[in-house]
Amino acid sequence: MNVTSIHFKIMYCLKRNVYSVSELADILNISEFKTKRYLKDLEYLFDGDSIENIHNKISKTPKIIDKLRKKQSFTPEERRMYIILKLLKLDIINLSQISEKIGVTRRTLTNDLNELKEILEKFSLEIKNLTRYGIILEGKESDKRDFFKLYLIKIFLEQKYLPEIFDEFFIEFYKLKETYKVYSLIKNIFKLTNLPNNTFVSLNIESITYISILRTEFQDSSTDKKLDEDTENKWIELVDFLKKTSLYSDFDIYLLIEFSMKKFKTNLLKMYPKKAIEAINLIKYIEDKLRVEIKITKELLNRILLITIVMDYKQSFNINEFYIFNNSIGEAYLVPYKKIADLLKKYFGQLDSFDLANLTMTLLNVVYLDIKKEIDQLKEIAVVYKFLHKNLIIDLCEDVGLKSDVNSYHLVSAFDLEAFLKENNPKVILTFEDLDFSKYHINDRLVEFNFPITKYDKLKLKPFIEKII
């Protein structure tokens, strides 16, 4: 029996709670038939005959998941990702060597790569076979870098569930991050730009940086681009900073400035007019179905766009994030949450449970305005996030009683937590996402919340509260 990333996603869900087959299918965005099949595999692995028994065994021995990871098999998508990471560093790779390493035939890998053809065509790229040598990725270097960047983001997002053999890449990225102080570098780029501070933007910058380092020797006429004089003068502070790092070529600086210009939050509605119309239509749909009036503000449209733009990217690259729903909450909050979630499922047809939770909470906050809850002061707080937008995190912090002033706590990307903890010592660490903190040894100050947040959730902070108003 093959243990794949889907099995691990189910195990992480059942580690938290007992879920029905239909709930697990919703969380993972797969059919109930497939869910039952994966559960049957897990029942065999855990010598258990029910979901509850699996939950109990994982809860009692959580390290069992790490042990099973050593037996994890590749999915076809993961085999493609592994080959792409190899091509990031090497001009030619040998499929026979890779097939031996990951335990599949060369024919299987060839078939896997055939499935990449459609995506590669979007980037004007093609994988070609060189007899007796191996395979190469053919096309312009600038197009290759666009392709590698988007796949790196996908790989970073799915890191937690990938087979152990991928650790060779993540260890190398970690060394690059430490050696070149990438965490501090990204913080400075945010300071010098008006970029929205979220993980998707941060991962774009981080990926461009790694590609710049790893592909220094791969240049062609397509990477001869540089900023025109007017643009360079407009971004002179950022350009000077990037040049001083000695990490970036003129082409890399061009990419970072181009990305910065595209991602200005103030220009989001102008940059994506069709998405803005789609967001307005979505709001009107919710208004009509719930028979409520929603004030359409620029801020609300921006929030919806930030979610739906990333949704499009995730669908193109087959990224299926999931969010573990908290099914032990008050009915008063559960009913409106599920009402909006069901409407969104009908409207979009296909969206993963993370995007569903993200959009539902965004709309819930404007449809159902709850009474303000205040907790006087909690000092030295870090709020760790992975993919939630900054404004939504601020709303969630308010829901659990923290002050609305974002300066009263640190917002830290999960990808930067290790570097943050080296420089800071927060007394409380909050998260609203299903993240793995096991390697940080912070359980005594970790508080985890699940969507949707209720007025009862602030009680989780009680041990840390100095004064409650």
Note the pLDDT tens digit of each residue in 42-53. Answer: 998 888 778 988
Pick the residue with more confidence: 326 or 452?
A: 452
Determine the pLDDT at residue 467.
Answer: 39
The DSSP bridge pattern shows strands 381-385 and 134-138 to be unpaired
Q: HSE of 67 in the Cβ direction (CA atoms, 13 Å)? A: 7
Residue pLDDT, tens place only, 289-299: 988 888 899 88
Q: Does pLDDT of 329 surpass 60?
A: no
> What would the mean pLDDT of 284-307 be, rounded to a whole number?
90
Give start and end residues of each alpha helix (H) in 228-272. 229-234, 236-245, 250-262, 268-271
Pick the residue with more confidence: 324 or 441?
A: 441
Closest CA to 413 of 383, 436, 440: 383
| 277 and 362 housed in the same domain | yes
Q: Does pLDDT of 151 surpass 60?
A: yes
Q: Which two tokens stand for residue 77?
A: 């998508």
- CA atoms of 466 and 90, how far apart (whole Å): 55
> What would the mean pLDDT of 449-461 be, rounded to a whole number?
66
| 40 and 63 housed in the same domain | yes
Q: Is residue 181 in some structural domain?
A: yes
Determine the pLDDT at residue 373.
Answer: 38
Residue pLDDT, tens place only, 207-262: 999 999 999 999 899 999 888 899 899 899 999 999 999 999 999 999 999 888 76
Stretch (H or E) spanning 345: helix 331-348
- CA atoms of 329 and 346, how far apart (whole Å): 24
Determine the pLDDT at residue 111.
Answer: 93
| 363 and 384 housed in the same domain | no
| 17 and 52 housed in the same domain | yes
Q: Is residue 35 in some structural domain?
A: yes
Total domains present in the chain: 5
Q: Which amino acid is at 37?
A: R
- CA atoms of 185 and 173, how far apart (whole Å): 15
| 351 and 293 housed in the same domain | yes
Q: HSE of 466 in the Cβ direction (CA atoms, 13 Å)? A: 9
Q: In a 3-state reduction of DSSP, which class is residue 92? A: strand
- CA atoms of 164 and 173, how far apart (whole Å): 15
Pick the residue with more confidence: 191 or 325?
A: 191
Determine the pLDDT at residue 33.
Answer: 95
| 297 and 339 housed in the same domain | yes
Determine the pLDDT at residue 378.
Answer: 52
Q: Is residue 164 in some structural domain?
A: no
| 355 and 379 housed in the same domain | no
Last residue of a domain, one of 260, 284, 312: 260
Determine the pLDDT at residue 370.
Answer: 41
Give the CATH number for residue 87. 1.10.10.10
Closest CA to 220 of 243, 240, 245, 249: 249
| 60 and 111 housed in the same domain | no
Determine the pLDDT at residue 209.
Answer: 95
With bands split at pLDDT 50, 70 and 90, how would you rate the model's confidence at 404?
A: low
Q: Is residue 144 in some structural domain?
A: no
With bands split at pLDDT 50, 70 and 90, how would you rate the model's confidence at 469?
A: very low
> What would the mean pLDDT of 357-384 be, rounded to a whole number?
69
Determine the pLDDT at residue 334.
Answer: 67
Longest dimension (CA), the chain: 74
Q: Is residue 131 in some structural domain?
A: yes
Last residue of a domain, one of 243, 260, 277: 260
| 384 and 432 housed in the same domain | yes
Average of per-residue pLDDT values in the chain: 85
Q: Is residue 157 in some structural domain?
A: no
Q: Is residue 161 in some structural domain?
A: no
**Which range (155-159, 318-322, 456-460) has the least confidence?**
456-460
Q: Does pLDDT of 330 surpass 70?
A: no
**375 — phi, psi (to 5°)?**
-115, 125
**What residues make up the domain containing 127?**
75-139
Place of tokens 């099973």: 68
Q: Is residue 159 in some structural domain?
A: no
Last residue of a domain, one of 343, 367, 391: 367
Query: What's the burial of 446, exposed, middle or buried (CB within 10 Å: 0-12/13-18/19+)?
Result: middle
Q: Which two tokens stand for residue 462?
A: 């009680």
Residue pLDDT, tens place only, 163-221: 999 999 999 999 999 999 999 999 999 888 877 777 788 899 999 999 999 999 998 99
Query: What's the burial of 445, exposed, middle or buried (CB within 10 Å: 0-12/13-18/19+)?
Result: middle
C-alpha angle with apex 284: 282 to 285, nearest 5 degrees?
A: 65
